[in-house]
Amino acid sequence: MTTPIPATVLPKRILYTMIRVSNLEDSIAFYQEMLGISELGRETFPEAKFTAVFMGYGDRTTHPVIELTYNWGDNSYEHGTRYGNLSLAVNDVYALEAHLKERGVEILRPAGVLPIASTETGTKHTLAFIADPDGYRVELMQSI
């Protein structure tokens, strides 16, 4: 049997998920204008040639955020096959999907109710998937 890790040593919360972007300003505009996510901070590292922009719905000291990282002059990244998606809670997935579609956002999976429910909670979800400017999948989820 292993000895439990003391609570004082364990991580306290999720800070952020970092994704690499090919055009920082396009990505910031997408997350702000299409999804209402605010820029919460920016850090530039000239010696390492990258800029990190933190985006979120709340204070980044208490809420998890997205870090958009732009490596200056390097756009050679490819999406891995193990990464799934960013998931956002929404009030009305159908209305948001229509709003985004009108603005030219790529809809990867139209809004609809999952035909299955969670075995633990019995909850069904209505969801849609969209693509951000770099093709990352963003899930829009409404619990019903």
| 112 and 66 housed in the same domain | no
CB 96 within 8 A of CB 140: yes
Q: Would you please indicate which residues are annotated as catalytic (active-site) residues?
A: 139
User: Does one domain contain both 48 and 14?
Assistant: yes
Q: pLDDT tens digits for 20-36? A: 999 999 999 999 999 99
Question: What pLDDT is attached to residue 73?
Answer: 86
Write the CA distances from 65 to 18, 26, 77, 87, 119, integer angstroms: 9, 18, 21, 12, 29
pTM: 0.86
95: part of which helix (H) or strand (E)?
helix 93-102
Instruction: Please identify, among 26, 49, 76, the residue that sits at the C-terminal boundary of a domain.
Output: 76
Q: Order across the sheet with 50-56: list the strands.
A: 16-20, 65-71, 50-56, 38-45
Residue 46: the pLDDT is: 94
32-62 tens-digit pLDDT: 999 999 999 999 999 999 999 999 999 998 9
Mean pLDDT, the chain, integer: 91
Give residue 140's domain range.
Answer: 84-144
Count of structural domains within the chain: 2
Regarding whether 93 and 54 lie in a shared domain, the answer is: no
| Burial label, 123 (beta-carbon count in 10 A; 0-12, 13-18, 19+) | exposed
Q: Are 10 and 66 within one domain?
A: yes
Domain's final residue, options 60, 76, 92: 76
Same domain? For 69 and 89 the reply is no
Residue 144 confidence class, pLDDT cut points 50, 70, 90: low
